[in-house]
């Protein structure tokens, strides 16, 4: 594996800056490959989830994005208050430039899949709600879905064609409040073709068994769909 240089380009003059990105491969190796986008959690950074690469199918071009707002020793996609309170408007503000960046790259890749951890799962599912039909699947780990509706989210399209979703979590996760877990489960019932798997002992983290299941899910749901 070779990391390509970060990509700090912007979509259009005057537009919000495109996300800072690191890639698993060089630019000339990416066209025609399925794209897997990694979205890190609160207070982390773009290199964090690149440690998952050995467990991910090598057919993907993998890109990890950095959230735009500095916080603590890392970055956040949108501000969080106590009990993980947040504004839906702030979520949408974070989603729009990433969606534009993904659409710029769509012609090079037969599919786009999102993998988000913690706050990154909120971003991944929000992107899928903003771009229904453009995202092949979402892998959400120890995270949540933004509750409620918003004009930027086309949930009606997802009710017609549910989003393939892998949702892995520890039922004893000390970070994600039960109310957000319940709201995520309720949303998934109507809008997702969800595989929900619970892992004991991982807390607010990612375990080896879970990573194995993620790799199997990507092979079956995303790569398998391409082959069929």
pLDDT in tens, 155-179: 999 999 999 999 999 999 999 999 9
Task: State the pLDDT at residue 84.
Answer: 81
Identify how many contiguous H helices and E strands the chain contains and give both numbers: 6, 9
* Residues in contact with 206: Cβ distance below 8 Å, sequence separation at least 6, in sequence order: 52, 117, 141, 142, 168
14: pLDDT strictly greater than 90: no
Q: Which position has the token pair 């993904």?
A: 102
pTM: 0.93
4: pLDDT strictly greater than 70: no
pLDDT per residue over 24-36, tens digit each?
A: 999 999 999 999 9
Q: Taking a C-beta distance cutoff of 8 angstroms, is the pair 89, 11 a contact?
A: no
Task: State the pLDDT at residue 15.
Answer: 53
User: 75: pLDDT confidence band, cut at 50, 70 and 90?
Assistant: very high
Please provide the average confidence, as pLDDT, over all residues in the chain: 92
Task: Using DSSP bridges, classify how beta strands 74-76 and 69-71 pair: parallel, antiparallel or unpaired.
Answer: antiparallel
What are the structural domains, with CATH classification, of the chain? 32-227 (3.40.50.1820)
Task: State the pLDDT at residue 201.
Answer: 97
């Amino acid at each position: 594996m070779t990391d390509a240089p970060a990509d700090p380009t912007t979509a259009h003059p005057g537009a919000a800056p495109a996300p800072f990105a690191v890639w698993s491969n060089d630019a000339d190796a990416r066209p025609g490959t399925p794209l897997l986008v990694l979205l890190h959690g609160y207070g982390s950074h773009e290199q964090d989830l690149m440690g998952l690469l050995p467990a991910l199918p090598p057919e993907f071009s993998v890109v990890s994005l950095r959230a735009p707002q500095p916080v603590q020793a890392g970055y956040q996609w949108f501000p969080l208050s106590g009990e993980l309170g947040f504004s839906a408007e702030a979520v949408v503000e974070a989603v729009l430039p990433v969606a534009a960046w993904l659409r710029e790259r769509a012609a090079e890749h037969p599919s786009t899949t999102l993998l988000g951890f913690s706050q990154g799962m909120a971003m991944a599912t929000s992107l899928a709600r903003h771009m229904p039909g453009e995202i092949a699947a979402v892998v959400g780990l120890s995270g949540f879905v933004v509750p409620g509706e918003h004009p930027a989210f086309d949930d009606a399209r997802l009710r017609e064609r549910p989003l393939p979703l892998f949702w892995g979590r520890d039922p004893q996760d000390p970070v994600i409040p039960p109310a957000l877990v319940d709201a995520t489960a309720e949303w998934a019932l109507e809008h997702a073709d969800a595989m929900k798997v619970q892992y004991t002992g991982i807390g607010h983290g990612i375990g080896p068994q879970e990573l194995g299941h993620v790799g199997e899910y990507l092979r079956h749901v995303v790569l398998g769909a391409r082959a069929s």
